[in-house]
Amino acid sequence: MTKHRTPWLLGKTELPAFDDDVWELYDGSTDYSQAHDLSKEKPEQLHELQRLWLIEATKYNVIPLDDRTAERVNPEIAGRPQLIRGDTQVFYPGMTNLSENSVLNVKNKSFSVTAEVVVANGDANGTIIAQGGAIGGWSLYTKEGKAKFAYNLLGIQAFTAEAGEPVPAGKHQVRAEFAYAGGGYAKGGTVSLYYDGDKVGEGQVGATQPFIFSADEGVEVGCERGTAVAPDCDVESSAFTGEINWVELKVGEDDHSHLLDPEEHINMLMGRQ
State how far the Cα of 132 lies from the Cα of 121, in Å rounded to an integer. Answer: 30
Would you say the pTM of this structure is higher than 0.75? no
Whether residues 190 and 59 share a domain: the answer is no
Whether residues 28 and 85 share a domain: the answer is no
Domain assignment of residue 6, yes or no = no
- Helix runs in the chain, H state only: 43-59, 75-78, 262-270
The most confident of the ranges 23-27, 76-80, 84-88, 181-185 is 23-27
Domain assignment of residue 223, yes or no = yes
pLDDT at 263 over 70: no
What's the pLDDT score for residue 261? 63
Whether residues 38 and 171 share a domain: the answer is no
What's the pLDDT score for residue 158? 95
Domain assignment of residue 206, yes or no = yes
Closest CA to 149 of 107, 104, 202: 202
Mean pLDDT of 60-72: 81
Whether residues 63 and 104 share a domain: the answer is no
Q: Report the CATH number at residue 93.
A: 2.60.120.200
Closest CA to 146 of 163, 159, 168: 163
Whether residues 90 and 30 share a domain: the answer is no
At residue 269, the 3 state secondary structure works out as helix
Whether residues 30 and 84 share a domain: the answer is no
Q: Residues with Cβ < 8 Å from 165, sequence gap 6 or more?
A: 146, 195, 200
Q: Domain limits at 124?
A: 77-270
Whether residues 253 and 123 share a domain: the answer is yes
Q: Convert the pLDDT of each residue in 203-218 to its tens digit.
A: 999 999 988 899 889 9
DSSP state at residue 19: G
Number of domains in the chain: 2
Q: How would residue 185 be classed by pLDDT, with cut points 50, 70 and 90?
A: confident
Let me know: does 217 contact 226? Beta carbons within 8 Å.
yes
Whether residues 60 and 105 share a domain: the answer is no
Q: Convert the pLDDT of each residue in 129-149 to its tens digit.
A: 999 999 999 999 999 999 999
Average pLDDT, the chain: 88
Q: Convert the pLDDT of each residue in 88-141 to its tens digit.
A: 999 999 899 899 888 999 999 999 999 999 999 878 999 999 999 999 999 999
